[in-house]
Structure 1
Amino acid sequence: MTALTTTLEVQILRVFADQRGEHGNELGVVYDAAGLPGDLGIELTAHLGFSETVFVDDEPRAAFRIFTPAVELKLAGHPTVGTAWVLGERAGGNVPAVVRPRLATEVAAWREEDGVVWIRGAVADAPAWEFVQLDAPALIDELSPDAPEQRGRHQFWAWSDESSGLIRARTFCADMGVPEDEATGSAAIRLADRLQRPITVHQGRGSVLHARPAAEAGWAQVGGRVVSDGFRSVTL
């Protein structure tokens, strides 16, 4: 008996790209996904080798689900920023004022004049991270995702320029099925809330995240640039 297969058309984004449009965390986006089971989203994410993918269930309402290779998440930064950006592009450039992750509180979204797309979310909806501050950016660069102490859910960070709010960071999250994440918006949300100041995080190979606490306690904002690398047909 032949096993059933499913072919999905997946748009590939890079979220938190630098000013040249390079780097960023890859994200798969599937449209018209309301009838697709969550297990398929998890399988797709693992197949692509990404940290997250998104199923857009209701495009007019900007309603979507976020999957890692292991679980569905409440709120994650690069999937939410990426979804806000791409739905805006599909609507002629106007970022939706609100996007709706299935398991989280509604998230405000907007694009600023420099092209950076921002979201504002509840800090409590973001995954919890263990933050480890080191003394210098060079120590961050020396870390290995294979070290036993980095196999949980950690962000290691150091000030590159504290007066300017510049941070060098790397994130390891093996318990989410991702040995190292290229750019982690949820960690930036939690770190900005923790530090209570605006920050610019240079993470991974060269991704750039902007984050800041919101005026209301318990909320924070994260933003970045997004690039589309087109569509890929994936058979599972």
Structure 2
Amino acid sequence: MTGYDVLCVFCGPDGTHGNELGVVRDGARIPGRAERQALAGTLGFSETVFVDDPERGAIDIYTPTSRLPFAGHPCVGTAWLLDVPELVTPAGVVGTRLDGEFTWIEARPEWAPPRTLRQYGTVEEVDALPVPPPGEWIYAWAWQDEAGGRVRARAFPGRDDGIDEDEATGAAALLLTARLARALNIAQGLGSQILTAPMPDGLIEVGGRVRLHRTMA
């Protein structure tokens, strides 16, 4: 099998949690979409990235069952790994920057796949939610501190591929930020953290911590 790195993206302040991401640095070794899709299904991460050109930052993103033109946590993780000023995705060029412990991307809300943003009245309601049946992609959220822009969220992809809940999802956070038109500090999953902020010209900035979990030869 082709070697790949496993990153944890949107880690908490103590460096734990975050959503796992598979990154195949030498994507040229697996050029076909069918082969990439098969490998993404075998690896089983919520997303797997194939790097087509590390110097340009050209990447290709897959879930276990489909190809995505853009996704948040794959872009943040790959930006950290490649340390390039931008990523080239099928959706468009994603600006990137590293700022201390955080890696940031700039993207447009319209690039994100459709999500149902479902608000709840309390954090406790969000925490108590069962995993819904496959179907609708749901981002469940509630204000933890509305004045301070702090949000509690959980993500249910609604896919029948073994991934019942995403630990951290940048695209959904991007959509929520666009809807609320304000910077957010999102606590998602078991302990992940996502930071966002509206930017000029309709862009949204999404940032988080990234760490290398393991490298598979």
The residue that corresponds to 2:91 in the other structure is 104
Q: Does 1:171 align with 2:155?
A: yes
Q: Does 1:203 align with 2:184?
A: no
> Structure 2: which amino acid aligns with 1:76?
A
Partner SS, residue 47 of structure 1: helix
> Structure 2: which amino acid aligns with 1:107?
V
> Structure 2: which amino acid aligns with 1:154?
I
Structure 1 residue 71: deviation in Å?
0.8
> Rg larger in 1 or in 2?
1
> Structure 1: which amino acid aligns with 2:42?
H
Matches for 1:89-168 after TM superposition, within 5 Å: 96-101=84-89, 103-113=90-100, 115-145=101-131, 147-148=132-133, 151-168=135-152
Does the aligned pair in 2 maintain the 1:151–1:179 contact within 8 Å? no
Q: Does 1:52 align with 2:47?
A: yes
The residue that corresponds to 1:9 in the other structure is 3
Matches for 1:27-46 after TM superposition, within 5 Å: 27-36=21-30, 37-46=32-41
Partner SS, residue 194 of structure 1: helix
Percent identity over the alignment is 39
Separation in structure 2 between the aligned mates of residue 20 and residue 35 of structure 1, nearest angstrom: 36
Partner SS, residue 185 of structure 2: strand
Does the aligned pair in 1 maintain the 2:87–2:95 contact within 8 Å? yes
Structure 1 residue 128: deviation in Å?
1.2
The residue that corresponds to 1:4 in the other structure is none
The residue that corresponds to 2:17 in the other structure is 23
Separation in structure 2 between the aligned mates of residue 134 and residue 39 of structure 1, nearest angstrom: 39
Structure 1 residue ranges, 4+ long, deviating more than 4 angstroms after superposition: none
Structure 1 residue 176: deviation in Å?
7.3
Does the aligned pair in 2 maintain the 1:136–1:159 contact within 8 Å? yes
Partner SS, residue 164 of structure 2: strand
Partner SS, residue 155 of structure 2: strand
User: Is there any run of 5+ residues in structure 1 with no aligned partner, and where?
Assistant: 1-6, 89-95
Does the aligned pair in 1 maintain the 2:195–2:208 contact within 8 Å? yes
> Aligned residue pairs: how many?
215
Separation in structure 2 between the aligned mates of residue 19 and residue 104 of structure 1, nearest angstrom: 31
Structure 1 residue 52: deviation in Å?
0.2
Separation in structure 1 between the aligned mates of residue 190 and residue 49 of structure 2, nearest angstrom: 23
TM-score when normalising by structure 1: 0.87
The residue that corresponds to 1:3 in the other structure is none
